[in-house]
Structure formats: structure tokens, C-alpha cells
Amino acid sequence: MNLRYSWPPSAWGKALRERAGATAPQASEIARTGAPRVSVRTAATLGRSGRWWNAPWFDTIQFLVLCGALLGLIVSGAMSMGYSWQWYRVPQFVFRVVDGELIWGPLAAGLAVTLEITACSVVLALAIGLVTAFLRLSDSLAGRAVSRVYLEAVRNTPLLIQMYLFYFVLGPIIGLDRFWVGVSCLAVFEGAFACEVIRAGILSVPRGQGEAGDSIGLGRAQVYRHVILPQAVPLMLPPLTGLMVSLIKNSAIVSVIAVLDLTTAGRDIVAETFMSFEIWMTVAAIYLGITVPLSVFMSYVERRVRTCD
């Protein structure tokens, strides 16, 4: 059994779970309340409550009917508008193969910019979040006030307005180009969320841990580095993955300041080709293609932190 390198270690997971107050239902409790006696077979074909409308096959049919109806609506709507579908023209905007050579299209280039913006903003947002979280937790009145004002200002103004402020006011003053205006605005916006996540993570470590660190003579920074953060970070990871998803989505807003991201690329193509249905559906699908795996990964990490053994 190699406990040393399993992540997070199983005993640690147990401690985290106990702290979260997640307790498995006790056998005695189930005996008392009387778990429904449904055979495994019936449970599988009939679902939780044993009624046919909760059965998985009925769920699937419901889902397929719904999707079909939606698709039918779109197709018939488009037909009645006289919309001519040109799906065959879409792939060239993603990539083309000319003489056996791969050439990336504007959508792929836009996606690259979107990912670049996201990556830069995540790093910056984490830095901002870390600093403001420590300010909020500090003894300094001024520090707490600064982070409080920042949080309230960012949370209570529209992201679009923040982008305009950064682009028209801050950008010219400090001389940032569009790309970095977009990145810094997104970072400041998401930094508020990162701050809350980091703060909550740190506060979820019991006080006694810090006191134990103090009592063996560790300094403030050492207590954070060796005692508090190693316990807080696993708890922060799932919400921070969520921050990443939200950043990818919110990065679309840089299209208002004409940064050539995925959304801007889509808009430009639509302006040229009038294929609004196909292009916007494709753009949405590309966003989904990135965010869904991230979300799935997030819930996997979340489950691991909560139930690893």
C-alpha cells in the first residue's frame, strides 16, 4: 500500500470528510427508517422510486423527444424563413488542408487567443485573489478596507462596464494594448471570486492547526506554507476549476474591445458570410468542447477530495 504518493492521502481525505461533516448514513439509521426493499433488478429497470416514469428508459425517451422537438423547431423555423443551410462551408473556418498542408482557419486562431487570454487571466486572478484574501484576513484595518472596497466594487458593477472602464480609461492611462486590457479586466473581475474561494479555503482549516504550528515555533509564513495551505488548497481546487470555466465563458466579452478571440472571429465570419446559424452554433459547440471536460474534471476532483479512500 503506497499511501505516501496517493493524492490526497486517504487518511487526509478522511479528515477532510469528517471536517465537512459528511457522514455516511449509519446502518442503525437505515434500519430504523426502513430502507425500501427493492430487488436490484427492479431498481435498475424502474429507478429510484420504482415507478415507471422514473425509470431510466423513460428518461432517455423523454430526453430524445425533447432534443428532436428542438431540432425540428430550428429546422422548420429556418425553412419558413427561407434560410439556406451551408454547413459544408463551416469546416474551412476551422482548418483547411491545402496541398497536404494544414492551415488553421479564423475560428481556430480565435480559439487560441481565447485560451491565451484565459491562461493569462487565471494566473493574474489567482495572484489578485491570494493578495486580497490575505488582506481580508489580516489584522490591518487599511488592508481589510482595501480588499472590501475592491470586492464590492467588482461584484456590483456589470462586467461590460468594467471592460469599458479598462479600455477607455485605464488602458490609455497606463498604456496597455487591447489584449492586456482584456486580460487584466477579466483577472480583476474573477480575482474577486478567487479571493472568496481562497479565503473560505483558509478559514475552513481549524484554528487549532495554526495554533499547533505556532506552538512548535513556526513563523507566520511557515505556518501558512507548511500547515494551512496544504490543507486548504485541495478544498479550493474544485471551485477554482469553476473559476477557469467561468473565465473561458466571460472571455467572450473581449470581443467588445475588438480582441480577435473566438467570439470576435465568429462575428467577423458572420458579417462576411451571413451564415449566422451555422457559425454561432459552431462557436457555442467549441466553447462547450472546452468547458464541459473541465466541469467533468472538476466534479471528479470534488468527489475525490470528499470521498477518497
269 binds other proteins (CB under 8 A): no
Compare residues 231 and 241 and give the one whose CB is closer to other proteins: 231
Q: In this chain, which of 48, 155, 226, 303 binds other proteins, going by CB under 8 A? A: 226
Amino acid residing at 49: S
Compare residues 110 and 234 and give the one whose CB is closer to other proteins: 234
- Cα gap 190→154, rounded to integer Å: 9
Compare residues 9 and 72 and give the one whose CB is closer to other proteins: 9
211 binds other proteins (CB under 8 A): yes
212 binds other proteins (CB under 8 A): yes
230 binds other proteins (CB under 8 A): yes
Q: Would you say how long the chain is, in residues?
A: 309
- H helices within the chain, ranges in order? 10-20, 27-33, 40-46, 56-81, 91-94, 106-137, 141-155, 159-164, 171-174, 178-203, 207-215, 220-222, 229-250, 262-273, 276-307
Q: In this chain, which of 128, 194, 227, 248 binds other proteins, going by CB under 8 A? A: 227
Q: Are 55 and 42 in contact (CB under 8 A)?
A: no
Name the minimum Å distance from CB 220 to other proteins.
Answer: 9
Q: In this chain, which of 77, 219, 289, 293 binds other proteins, going by CB under 8 A? A: 219
Give the number of other Cβ atoms within 10 Å of residue 303's Cβ: 11
What are the grid coordinates assigned to 197, written together? Answer: 474561494
Compare residues 46 and 308 and give the one whose CB is closer to other proteins: 308
Compare residues 14 and 178 and give the one whose CB is closer to other proteins: 14
3 binds other proteins (CB under 8 A): yes
Compare residues 34 and 208 and give the one whose CB is closer to other proteins: 208
- Cα gap 125→239, rounded to integer Å: 13
294 binds other proteins (CB under 8 A): no
12 binds other proteins (CB under 8 A): yes
Name the minimum Å distance from CB 16 to other proteins.
Answer: 8
Q: Are 274 and 153 in contact (CB under 8 A)?
A: no
Compare residues 10 and 49 and give the one whose CB is closer to other proteins: 10
Strand 95-98 and strand 101-104: pairing? antiparallel
235-239 contacts at long range (C-beta below 8 A, 24 or more positions apart): 235/16, 235/200, 235/201, 235/204, 235/305, 236/197, 236/198, 236/200, 236/201, 237/301, 237/305, 238/298, 238/299, 238/301, 238/302, 238/305, 239/197
Angstrom distances, CA of residue 240 to CA of 41, 81, 148: 40, 44, 20
293 binds other proteins (CB under 8 A): no
214 binds other proteins (CB under 8 A): yes
The residue count for binding other proteins (CB under 8 A) is: 27
Q: In this chain, which of 40, 102, 217, 285 binds other proteins, going by CB under 8 A? A: 217
Interface residues with other proteins (CB under 8 A) are 3-4, 8-12, 14-16, 206, 208-209, 211-219, 222, 226-227, 230-231
